[in-house]
Amino acid sequence: MKFTHVAALAGLAAASPTPTTDKQDKRTIEKRASVTEACNIGFASSNGGTTGGAGGTTTTVSDYASFSEAAEADGPAVIVVDGALTGPGRVRPSSDKTIVGASGGASLQNIGIYVRRVSNVIIRNLAISKVDADNGDAIGVDESTNVWVDHVDLSGDLNVGKDDYDGLFDVTHAADWVTISNSVLHDHWKASLVGHSDSNGDEDTGHLTVTYANNRWSNINSRGPSVRFGTAHIYNNLYENIRDSGVNTRLGAQVLIESTAFSGTEKPIVFRDSDETGYVVLNDVDLGGASHDVAEGTISGDDLPYTYELVGSGNLEGVLSGAGATLTWE
């Protein structure tokens, strides 16, 4: 698919930022939005698009029981979460749902959202934190299609044990057409996993298509993301103070990273923890003085079913200034 500039394939070399002064993003990330807005970015904008609960009723919830009941009900619906909800709990939305935090953002503590065996789900404008492993990931996408996660703030706590919390944003069991955009992932051991097991190749190969667009990763230990089997497109992302490793590509995964910068990590891109390597292609990626030796992949922007715009690895703060649960609804 056509995109804003031609990718430079620089997979095996230590990447320094390529000037992109003539490739500025003409789109402004607005803090005002509509609760019925359809996805317009990444894989979730493809395969017929992701519209969530548009056309259904709108319900405002302010406690866990009401939230869970509304999310799990059949039929399209827009669910507005108002205030600070505290678990423990795990919400499993049905298909055709839009879940948003009220204007200015709402929060879930120790409440995970588990998108399993459904399609057409949108999650926006929520801060989700400290979800115990017993309640799953902060947001988990499992065997589902067309899921858009946007303007969320996902976090844990690096002062607890590594396995006390699970992932912040995990995509598993052949899920497809998934986007996480304009979000902040921070203060967590295992941030984001694409593909849950080395032994699940029969199901996952040819699936697990995920876009990471316009996100900030800060103070994570690893999995930024870790990708097995699938296809990940990471663009306009900023990584700060990554303790162990950033992107991990393995088991034949194809990862395209563009217009992205790393700082404060010695291992921005790795292959580890599996017997078979994954692959990476870099275009305008600032590794912050580090290097990598992951095998070069074959993926390019022309292979993707959507258009996108790159701001340049030196211009990320502008596009990231509104990341997180910062939306105000019209």
**Rounded distance, CA 51 to CA 48, Å?**
9
> How many Cβ atoms are within 10 Å of 72's Cβ, its own excluded?
12
What Å distances lie between residue 192 and 220, 238, 253, 281, CA to CA?
Answer: 10, 15, 15, 19
Among 263, 149, 259, residue whose Cα is nearest residue 211: 149
Where b means 16+ CB within 10 Å and e means fewer, 21-50 reads eebebeeebeeebebbbbbebbbbbbeeeb
17 prior amide bond cis, ω within 30: no
243 is catalytic: no
Residue 269 contacts residue 232 (beta carbons within 8 Å): no
Catalytic-role residue among 124, 223, 228, 250: 223
Q: What 3-state class would DSSP assign to 282?
A: strand
Residues identified as active-site: 223
